[in-house]
Amino acid sequence: MLKTYDGNDIRNVGLVGHLNCGKTTLAAGLLYLTGATNRLTRVDEGNTVTDFDDEETARKITISTAVAYAEWKKTKINLLDAPGINIFINDVRSSLVAADSALVVVDGVAGVEVQTEKAWEIAEEYHLPRAIVVNKLDRDRADFEQAVASCTEFFGKHCVAVHMPIGKERDFRGVIDLIEMKAFEYTPNGNGKGKEIPIPAEYAEAAQQAHAALVEAVAEGEDELMEEFFETGTLAAEHVRSGIDDEMRAGTIFPIMCCSALLNIGTDLVADFISDHLPSALKRTEMIGIQDGHEEKRLISDSEHASIYVFKTTADAFAGRMSYFKVMSGVIAADSHIINSRNGSDERLAHIACPLGKSMTEVKELHAGDIGVIAKLKETLTGDTLAEKGFPIIYPPVTLAEPSIAYAVSAKTRQDEDRMGNALTRILEEDTSLRFYRDQATNEFLLAGTGQQHVEIVVSRLKKRYNVDVELKAPKIPYRETIRGSADVHGRHKKQTGGHGQFGDCRIRMSPLPRGEKFKFVNSIFGGSIPRQFIPAVEKGIVEASEKGYLAGFPVVDFQVDLYDGSYHDVDSNEMSFKMAGRKAFKLAMEQARPALLEPIVNVEVVAPNEYAGDLMGDFNGRRGRVGGMDTKGNMQVIRAQVPMAEMLTYANDLISMTQGRASYTMEFDHYDFVPQLQADKIISAARAAGVGKEEEEE
């Protein structure tokens, strides 16, 4: 059983960066270095601790944040290995809530990339201290100085190197610690522990210059250190260290380290830096929540009443629902009871554990600031707060962007249909950025996510985990039909059989209504030309006919019908006859009232770097959109437009191509508008070919 750590000895570190920058490999190296694992695992071999999901193993990418702990220099390091691909950015946002600092991994060849920027922005939004690790320095064309310049360009002048590499590309073999001015040499693919050597003569001058730049950067952050610097021309090593600690927490310095996670070079210095300089779980001192409708500040301290925040939920085939949480205050003990602040349910914490990827190490208790996992909580979901009975508090859940793309989903067999709902419910508990709903307009079940690959991964999980086969297809556009003109028609239904016949006769006026008014029925019958009991049947016949459409099978909206005359037969008239008369009158009126198609128009807001603004506005014009305005947000442009929904089905992928994945967008329905005749003719022709529309035979 794992020993218990005090919050001062806990480091909760978010590993973030762009896809393939080496975050998971660095986590593997740190776990091997610290003895958490007994061998150095590889992403390309599919056996890393933090990429254990079947989809992650198959695709060799991180899809969901994994948590693993390591013990180093009397500290417990909780690593949160977050995804580096755009469509899973919501997971980064959700998981960094549990972090107290961020370790931003940068590719030594590519420098700062798109997702590195986005992860940095999230860490900045959460006021997390940040340090940078330049990885992959063993690769061809890797250049530490260029990577540092890239960090300075994107993250500002406060980025400063605390390491310097020895050797370049395939000759990379060691690291110089610029704080202590010590050099270490490594055995490639070794245990990650370097052997101290004298600083090589060819690096002595450059190392001294880099040390001076570091000292100056640290001195600039505090008045006392600046005075010492002016008096002596340098700073003592212990003052450099304390200055780095204070200024990282203040966000005025961002140290840059270097390593090759693949070869396990420099890993021990990264672990040392985490242990020595990244803030402990108690450095944030307090969290703000809501208690009884009022803001409540609660110290991150063992002496406070217990509370935990659930930041992640997964579904395990054997253990069931797994809830990952951070202890926000107090001490959480195994086999204790705690109350869900959202719904008041009592939850028993049967077995508390610390996660090591998919493995769980049981503990007796967890102190304020620590991260743990517990199985089979009954009523608790991601974003919930659990608190000691009698001392409720609710920590605000993370607000995630709404899904940007939706696909129609249908079960392949009846057996799949029976299982699909339950399986999707469990997946939705695990991934709060997904949406599953029925479109009332088209009656399709839609699965919405942040990108095509996101939805495809869900479909694959349905098959592998729950043996549910489903088909994906682009969703139907919920077109509508309406009228531009008016009509005055006579609808009669007469049918003679051997016994009683059928007779219904009505006269109606049809006219357009303002957009959004849907349907209005006016009864103007006087003198009993149609008995009162048959008038609702006329309205019902019109409504049923309008739902089936006239031009292309889409519901007719925004029209008014005025029933003003008709006739009846004492014997042959009944409700069915007048319903059929109403349907006939509707179809005749549609012929005269200049029917037209309507399409949904959506509001689109795109946030993209300035250099792409022109291309994006041109693209909107090509999609029949209207640009409504632009705002500047730092070095980003916010572009707002109204675009037909039909033109936005492929926009998620197209936006990635146009902006190299550096843009994001949101979309919401706004109103309906007329479809241009050219597009309308195509839609109507397709409907006729499918056997719907005005040529459909009457039942």
Query: What is the pLDDT, as a whole number, of residue 698?
Result: 44
Answer whether residue 696 is part of any domain. Answer: no
CATH assignment at residue 418: 3.30.70.870
Same domain? For 504 and 361 the reply is no
Report yes or no on 685 lying in a domain.
no
Average pLDDT over residues 448-474: 88
Q: Are residues 430 and 556 in the same domain?
A: no
- Global pTM reads 0.78
Residue 150 sits in the same domain as residue 230:
yes
Query: By residue range, what is the domain housing residue 333?
Result: 286-387
In sequence order, the β-bridge partners of residue 604 are 641, 667
What does the pLDDT average to over 7-29?
94
Q: What is the CATH number of the domain that holds 196?
A: 3.40.50.300
485 and 609 assigned to the same domain = no
Provide the token pair at 222.
């505090």
Is 90 exceeded by the pLDDT of residue 234? no
Phi then psi for residue 203, to 5 deg, are -110, -5
% of residues, the chain, pLDDT over 90: 62
Domain match, 263 and 294 both = no
Average pLDDT, the chain: 90
**Total domains, the chain:** 5
Same domain, 63 and 169: yes
Domain-terminating residue out of 249, 277, 305: 277
In a domain, 469, yes or no: no
Same domain (yes/no): 237, 380:
no
The pLDDT score that the predictor gives to residue 573 is 87
Residues 573 and 603 in one domain: no
Q: pLDDT-derived band of residue 693, with 50, 70 and 90 as boundaries?
A: low
Beta strands in 513-625, from DSSP E residues, in sequence order: 519-523, 559-567, 595-609
102 and 241 inside one domain: yes
Query: For residue 608, how far is the Cα from the chain centroid?
Result: 17
Gyration radius from the chain CA atoms: 33
- pLDDT on residue 587: 94
Give the H or E element holding residue 560.
strand 559-567
| Cα 348 to Cα 553: distance, rounded to the nearest angstrom | 54
For the segment 409-415, the average pLDDT, to the nearest whole number, is 90
State the average pLDDT over residues 319-330. 91
Cα separations (Å) of 521 from 26, 550, 556? 69, 19, 14
Residue 235 has a pLDDT of: 87
In terms of pLDDT, which residue wins out, 87 or 347?
A: 347
Residue 441: which of 624, 599, 653, 218 has the closest Cα?
599
pLDDT at residue 338, rounded to an integer: 95
Residue 687 counted as domain residue: no
pLDDT in tens, 463-520: 988 899 999 888 778 889 999 999 999 999 988 776 678 899 999 999 999 998 999 9
Interval 643-657: pLDDT, tens: 998 898 888 888 988
The enclosing domain of 308 has a CATH number of: 2.40.30.10
We report the CATH number of the domain holding residue 516 as 3.30.230.10
Residue 269 lies in a domain: yes
Does 691 fall in a domain? no
The domain that contains 642 carries what CATH number? 3.30.70.240
* 55 and 202 assigned to the same domain: yes
Q: Which residue has tokens 């931003």?
A: 104
Q: Does residue 17 form part of some domain?
A: yes
Q: What span, in angstroms and rounded, lies between the C-alpha atoms of 612 and 664? A: 12
Cα–Cα distance for residue pair 228/486, rounded to 1 Å: 88
Is residue 317 very low, low, confident or very high in pLDDT (cuts 50, 70, 90)?
Answer: low
Domain boundary among 244, 277, 310: 277
**pLDDT mean over 571-594:** 92
| Domain boundary pick from 553, 577, 593 | 593
Phi, psi for 501 (deg, rounded to 5): -95, -165
Which pLDDT belongs to residue 229? 84
User: Which amino acid belongs to residue 208?
Assistant: Q
Are residues 230 and 354 part of one domain? Answer: no
Tell me the C-alpha to C-alpha distance, in Å, between residue 636 and each of 548, 612, 628: 46, 9, 17
Contact 70, 12 (CB under 8 A): no
User: Beta partners for 265?
Assistant: 260
Please report whether residue 103 resides in a domain.
yes
Kindly report, residue by residue over 528-577, the tens digit of the pLDDT. 899 989 999 999 999 999 988 999 888 999 999 999 999 998 888 889 99
Separation in Å, CA 633 to CA 273, 607, 628: 34, 9, 17
Query: Under a CB-based contact definition with an 8 Å cutoff, are residues 403 and 297 in contact?
Result: no
Contact (Cβ atoms closer than 8 angstroms) between residue 273 and residue 163: no
DSSP codes joined into one string, 59-99: HTS--S-EEEEEEETTEEEEEEE---SGGGHHHHHHHGGG-
| Same domain flag for 561 and 670 | no
* Angstrom distance (rounded) from CA 297 to CA 330: 14
Rounded to 5°, the CA angle 602-605-611 comes to 135
